[in-house]
Structure 1
């Protein structure tokens, strides 16, 4: 057990250092994400003004937008191409000979890459806080539970990303798969617009998927739109999705490796 943990830790550190070697990614991510956040702030300020829209006023929308920025930075800034390339270029055949579980190793590398987004997220949040002065959490407990929700995003994001990269066993490209996953996540998480703005039937569809836990869940907890019992229920659902996606990924991988096709020379 201790040896397995040591391997996990080593993979996290290696992935983290690999991402830190490209510091331009921080500033590029900050420019793209920060620019999008600024545009969203201006848009919502003009739409909401001094009123409310589906229960959101300008104060709550400022906090909501910043939470969405942090979630997007974590999820979209992680390295998923490394996993996909290992399948597409045939390195998966070498991985299968190693005494290390493939899924667990990729999870450790993914966590390391997500941790590398921390500087970008911090810089963006500090700048947004100084510029827009959003409200704090509804209660200290709400703030703590919001942090728990963000921590659960690590395994949840990995589960979705891992499943999408496994599709490469049956395709010759990954770019379209990545675009589809990111589009679904952006829309059904509430990152584009809050789910509360959507028709009831579309909200029901969204909540039947894991995506809302990337933006709607932490923002609902932070803003006090749910009580303590509701917050714990959302966190339980988020954790259940993380476990379920891990098991599903394990099952799909077992099926996929029965026949490995290498694309390339």
Structure 2
């Protein structure tokens, strides 16, 4: 465990050292938040659409912003380039589990992301007005859902980055991942606005747990029983993707060829 704690601390120091990169990434999500707030305020100014009022949509977008900001410090590009260049072979001789080491790095930068989220959400609420927090059981479910979001998002990003063992173009993989995540997670629009069949597919996919599940629970659009089901789906995907990623790693290593003297 000492090695993983050291990796977590190193990630935190790196994020603070290269804070401009972190702030630029946060700025991208923040600009998206401001744009969506402006658009939805106009759309929902007169009436609700698919059951969403403007106050509800404002809270939904704030949860989406928080969900989109966490795990942003995970170095998927660094990991991808090490795989493509063959430098990942150096990681194989280290006395740590590769997947657990990358997750420890993710946890290391988490507190910085949470701090930045708190600042942005606090300022936004001060400008646009406060929100009503859900009752005890729903609030507890929301917290659990947000906690499960961290390993879930890590595993989706980590698993897609492992595709570099089979492809030479990580940029294409990243764009495809972002497009699918934004659509099926409900980050751009709530899943209720999607066609019925697509909304159903998205709700049972791992992507819904990245935005839709915690947002719906916080808004009280699902009862406690349904919320438990959604959180259970999140947990199920975390377990499935964790072990699935380990199988991908083993398969990828069989394709690894490193030349050198």
Bin the TM-score by the shorter chain: over 0.9
Q: How does 1:80-229 map to 2 (within 5 A)?
A: 80-229=76-225
Q: Give the length in aligned residue pairs.
A: 260
Tell me the residue number matched to 1:18.
Answer: 14
Q: Structure 2, unaligned stretches of length 5 or more? A: none
Name whichever of 111-120 and 169-178 sits farther off: 111-120
**2:159·2:245 contact (CA, 8 Å) conserved in 1?**
yes
Maintained 8 Å contact 1:80/1:110:
no
Contact 2:191 2:203 in 1 (8 A): no
Q: 1:147 deviation in Å?
A: 1.7
- For normalisation by structure 1, the TM-score amounts to 0.92
Counting only pairs closer than 5 Å after superposition, residues 58-97 of structure 1 correspond to structure 2 as 58-97=54-93
The separation in 1 between residues aligned to 2:92 and 2:18, in whole angstroms, is 29
Deviation at residue 230 of structure 1 after TM alignment = 1.2
Q: Secondary structure, in 3 states, of the residue corresponding to 1:116?
A: helix
Query: What are the Cα deviations for residues 166-188 of structure 1, in whole angstroms up to 9, with x where unaligned?
Result: 11011122111111111110110
Distance in 2 separating the partners of 1:193 and 1:229 = 24
Contact 1:89 1:263 in 2 (8 A): no
**Offset of 1:76 from its aligned partner?**
4.1
* Offset of residue 27 of structure 1: 3.3
The CA distance in 1 between the partners of 2:28 and 2:174, in whole Å, is 18
Equivalent residues of 1:75, 1:114 under 8 A apart: yes
2:231 pairs with 1:235: yes
TM-score between the two structures when normalised by the length of structure 2: 0.93
Residue 57 (structure 1) aligned with residue 77 (structure 2): no
